[in-house]
Amino acid sequence: MRIATWNINSVRARAHLLAELDAAAAPDVVCLQETKVADEKFPHAAVEALYPYRHVRGMKAYNGVAILSKIPFTATGGEDWCGREDARHAIARFKGGLELHNFYVPAGGDIPDPEANDKFAHKLAFLDELAAWLSAESSPRARRVLVGDLNIAPLEADVWSHKQLLNVVSHTPVEVDALTKVQSAHDWVDAVRHFAPDEPLYSWWSYRAKDWRASDRGRRLDHVWVTPALKGKLRSFEILKDARDWPKASDHVPVIVDIDV
DNA sequence: ATGGTTGCCGTGCAA
């Protein structure tokens, strides 16, 4: 099974890029974040030929996740977090017991201080709640995959400058600690770092750079994690960096993992 | 130290 995760930054503005993704990598399953569309306005007609099976959880203007698939699955909703109905989680269950979770973690605003910035407080609370939820759901033989825009680049090799980003939201120690607790709550294996432990790798480059490729001030915000039961089934990964130059590109590129299921 | 871009909708807000 080839699974892609991609913050598409509006599925309506960039529905045409799903065909580019299929031509480039032909994923079986695509998990989108920041679809930015209410469910009744989701562009099903534009994607149904490629992905006959879909589970969308969206809202007007902000957030929103979607699971698009060539393989049948059962859609099982997704949780609401921090008492908000803000469409940040969708779940799919595939035949054979594989459970796929698609997350869009709050970005957290600009100021890395939960006292001064409600959005950062929300991000930390979201991660704490997620860690507690996963601990309660823990089962040693579970075959689960967690993907999404986690809006945190936890490792030094996940950012263009560890030193310069230590106080920048997405790489601050307090949120990296919170994400690490989520990860240990389920013994999740970072599928990309399983293959490439130390190599600098990014999945997001700001729109504001004059030449994103030349400056290469990227961050690895988009992740694919698997439970230990699937670790030995990991086959390969790809970060589709070329997607950052597609027409009307998202600021995130797809992260793709192949799993033997 | 500052400003740089994008999508949502039709104004700032969130990223």
Q: Which of A104, A127, A124 is nearest to A182 (CA)?
A: A127
The average confidence (pLDDT) of chain A is 97
CB-based burial label for A209 (10 Å; 0-12, 13-18, 19+): middle
Protein CA at A106 to nucleotide C1' at B4, angstroms: 23
Chain A window 110-129: residues with CB closer than 7 Å to nucleic chain B are: 119
Q: What is the extent of the structural domain holding A205?
A: 2-259
What pLDDT does residue A52 have? 98
Which 8-state DSSP code applies to residue A159? B
C1’ B7 / CA A233, Å = 38
Distance of C1' in B2 from CA in A153, Å:
25
Quote the pLDDT of residue A141: 80
State, as a whole number of angstroms, the distance between the CA of A102 and the C1' of B12.
30
Q: Which pLDDT score, from 0 to 100, does residue A105 have?
A: 98
- pLDDT, residue A138, reads 75
Distance A223 CA to B9 C1' (A): 31
Q: Does A160 contact strand B, using a CB cutoff of 7 Å?
A: no
CB proximity A157–strand B (7 Å threshold): no
**Nucleotides of strand B under 7 angstroms from a protein beta carbon:** 3-9, 14-15
Q: Is the minimum distance from the CB of A219 to strand B below 7 Å?
A: no
Do the Cβ atoms of A227 and A238 come closer than 8 Å?
no
Give the span between the Cα atoms of A231 and A235, in whole angstroms. 9
Q: Supply the pLDDT for residue A139.
A: 81
CA of A15 and C1' of B12: distance in angstroms?
26
Tell if A150 CB is < 7 Å from nucleic strand B: no
d(CA A84, CA A74): 24
Partners of A53 in the β-ladder: A69
User: Closest nucleotide to A210's CA, by C1' atom?
Assistant: B4
Residues in chain A: 261
CA A141 / C1′ B8 distance in Å:
42
CATH of the domain at A102: 3.60.10.10
**CA nearest A171: which of A154, A188, A150, A194?**
A154
Looking at the structure of chain A, the number of domains it has is 1
pLDDT of residue A131: 97
Better-scored residue on pLDDT, A137 or A121: A121
- Over residues A235-259, mean pLDDT: 98
Task: Report the C-alpha gap between A210 and A203 in whole angstroms.
Answer: 18
Strand B close to A252 by CB, under 7 A: no
A141-152 residue pLDDT tens: 899 999 999 999
User: pLDDT for A56-71, tens place per residue?
Assistant: 999 999 999 999 999 9
Secondary structure (3-state) at A126: helix
